[in-house]
Amino acid sequence: MKQSILSIFIVLILAACAQDNKKLASTMNQFDVFRKKEKFTEDTLVHYTGVNDPALKSILTEKINTVADDFEKLALTQKAIDKDYQDKIEIGLKRFNRLYLDTEDKEQVCRYVEELMDIVGVKSSDGHLNTFIYGLDPEKM
């Protein structure tokens, strides 16, 4: 009896580990797809005209892909909590501070960050997206 209970327990643990590995592989694939897609192009669904300057587009793409890299490293630990990702959001958005971006480009950066948040299941940026676009978070006033 003890041996069969132990066997069932081991099978359940192995099944859970396999499920976790499958989920992690899917998450890593989503990061890869995100990094490979062309960014800062026209998006008529949100009335975004895109970035016309190829040099700026390249810089912006590199910076948002670095945020994806940061998220991926956290996801690989399988121990990250929302606060860890929120800290990476804050750091990632600061990388854009030295660039002149209009509101539409800032909103597009935030849409990409939200895509990354969706990949890892983070629901809140802790106000960092509002602060990036508007200079303050109205929810913290």
The residue with tokens 């958005």 is 93
5 CB contacts (<8 Å, ≥6 apart)? none
Confidence of residue 23 (pLDDT cuts 50, 70, 90): confident
Where does the chain have alpha helices with state H? 2-36, 54-77, 82-94, 103-120, 128-134
pLDDT of residue 138: 63
Q: Indicate the class that CATH gives domain 28-140.
A: mainly alpha
**Which neighbouring-strand residues pair with 43?**
48
Residue boundaries of the structural domains of the chain: 28-140
pLDDT tens sequence across 64-123: 999 999 999 999 999 999 999 999 999 999 999 999 999 999 999 999 999 999 999 999
